[in-house]
Structure 1
Amino acid sequence: MAAPLSADRLLQALRAEGVHVVEVGNWRAHNRNSKGPWGPVNGSIVHHTVTKGTASTVAMVRDGYTALPGPLCHGMIAKDGRVHMVGWGRTNHAGGGDPRVLEQVIAESYGTRPTPPTKGNANGTDGNARFYGWECENLGDGKDPWPRAQYQAIVRVQAALCRAHGWSAKSVIGHREWSADKVDPRGIDMPELRADVAERLKHPASWNPNEEDPMAGITKKDIFDAVWKTDAIGGPADAADHKTNPTWQAQSILKDVQARIRNMDRRMAAQTAAITALAGQVGTGADTQTVVTAVETAIKRAVIDDNTVES
């Protein structure tokens, strides 16, 4: 059991997980706390809205309707993956549910899915006090698609809550797994969703599985071409290298790079010697040939000294 997160702590957890949050009005103080307790919380429930259109859906889950006052959830996850926060505290989202399911969620003791519920809204345990609730924009007809952006947002939201509370993915259930009266979220496989949440929890909150590995698909041939076949670097001919190094061994590449670095060092030493020699001739009244000779001597000495050190 755990105390509900504060609104600030929730936002911190969601944003750390990469969730795009939209704060709607006075959501921090918008709740149904006057009608009953909120907390301790034991998990999170995923719903579908049976609506179409983000703006109208946000208004509905925030304000409710005649038979059921709002807020109807804590956040609404839109088709584009944005999470609209509409309330914080007790909300009308879970209703009554099966106490056996609550026990299994608290203990995180079930297998693939909780025991099918036999109790519902009229005769079940108060779920509004014990669960976070997330409505997801969908018609709920089994045909309306779940865009990748929306699904990934659902995963991230649930992972953020689990990470913040130290829960496993088994603290995340669908409304149909809580109440015998419900079928939502239709079109989402809850064991698969929990598996995706569990996978996310193995990584830091900043993990982005959509980012491509910059080295993915790169072969040794690609590395060879990048190192040898550029005008800036140059290198041995392709055919010659195939004879001496048919598998493009890393040591030969490193040897060539090392040689090029040494060559650059020689050039830098020569430039430094030339500048020093010129500076030494300034103000001496020496003629041009004397200056040239002094510079040439300094350059030769720098390069010869460098070659001696290498050997």
Structure 2
Amino acid sequence: MSTPLSAAAFRAALRAEGVTVAEHGTWSTHNRDSVGSWGPVQGVMLHHTAGTDSVNLCRTGRPGLPGPLCVAVLAKDGTVHLVGYGRTNHAGLGSRAVYDAVRTGGTPPARPGADAVDGNTHFYGFEIENLGNGRDPYPAAQLEAAEKVAAALCRAHGWAADRVIAHKEWTTRKIDPSFPMAVMRTRIAARLGTRPTTTYQPFPGAAWFRRNPTSPIVTAMGKRLVAVGCSAYTDGPGPRWTESDRRSYAKWQHKLGYTGTAADGWPGATSWAALKVPYTKEVRRTRGGADG
């Protein structure tokens, strides 16, 4: 069970995965939360739009189905257009058996059962611009964007690739998206087996910071915190993790939109990726850590 990422953390996770993002209007607060709950989130659902002018359609909706119709639209050129965030009208009711399989890491049934669970509550929804007629192609850049956005959310939540499903796997009412999901999940799993290609420092792990390390990574992090206007330092930053580092990092978490215990100053994977700490070879990494 997972609490949805904040809008800022969601955007940061996409960018950390190498996604090209375009933001539209007040996307971060444009949602359907007033008519139902958003979360706990259990996975990612992929769709195709079955139309053109997809960004505008997915932002505003259509008669009888108000927008937003997803959190983002994946254009043919691979650009990911952020159009809403929170509960969106993308999934509708779907199979309890599929929901339970996604939630527990089991194998979904070959054919969905009766519609019983509100997918708008439990899934991040992405629309991929395509007519869905079997003739409209999915360019390589667009499929790569689908792979990246799904992997970004799986990485942020600590999910495996089997948390990513198609609308057609959710309910017998739908046929989208019109590409093989087994192939897409294989691509996502392969991406999750590696870290994004980057010149930035990989996340050392939550436990690493709790040991009060002395490392040039701490210095590099502190310099980045100063650069983004989140300094609580009276001197430094230096290589030894101190209370000043923790208070500075808490400022960064607040800037990303985190609150409460998620903004306690102890680094987490998503906020770390968004900080873009320059790479240094010196670190022995341990895995783990929720965000913050």
Counterpart-to-counterpart distance in 2, 1:115 and 1:102: 13
Counterpart-to-counterpart distance in 2, 1:206 and 1:68: 39
1:1-311 to 2 correspondences below 5 Å: 1-52=1-52, 56-110=53-107, 114-120=109-115, 124-186=116-178, 188-206=179-197
Displacement of 1:116: 1.4
Give the share of equivalent positions with the same residue, in percent. 50
Which of the pair has more CA radius of gyration?
1
Which residue identity lines up with residue 41 of structure 1 in the other structure? V
Per-residue CA deviations over 1:252-289 (Å, capped at 9, x if unaligned) read: xxxxxxxxxxxxxxxxxxxxxxxxxxxxxxxxxxxxxx
Counterpart-to-counterpart distance in 2, 1:207 and 1:144: 33
Displacement of 1:143: 1.2
Per-residue CA deviations over 1:96-137 (Å, capped at 9, x if unaligned) read: 000110000011111xx54411224xxx21000000000000
TM-score by length of 2: 0.67
Displacement of 1:170: 0.3
Displacement of 1:57: 1.1
Per-residue CA deviations over 1:66-106 (Å, capped at 9, x if unaligned) read: 12000000000000000000101110000000011000001
Tell me if structure 2 keeps the 8 A contact 1:160–1:205.
no
Counterpart-to-counterpart distance in 2, 1:107 and 1:114: 13
Determine which structure has the larger helix proportion and give its number: 1
Tell me if structure 2 keeps the 8 A contact 1:16–1:206.
no
Which residue identity lines up with residue 144 of structure 1 in the other structure? D
Displacement of 1:207: 6.5
Unaligned runs of 5+ in 2: 200-292
Unaligned runs of 5+ in 1: 209-311
Counterpart-to-counterpart distance in 2, 1:96 and 1:22: 29
| Runs of 4+ residues over 2 Å off in structure 1 | 205-208
Which residue identity lines up with residue 192 of structure 2 in the other structure? L
Question: Root-mean-square deviation (CA), in Å?
Answer: 1.3
Aligned pairs, how many? 199
Residues 1:154 and 1:129: Cα distance change in structure 2 (over 3 Å): same
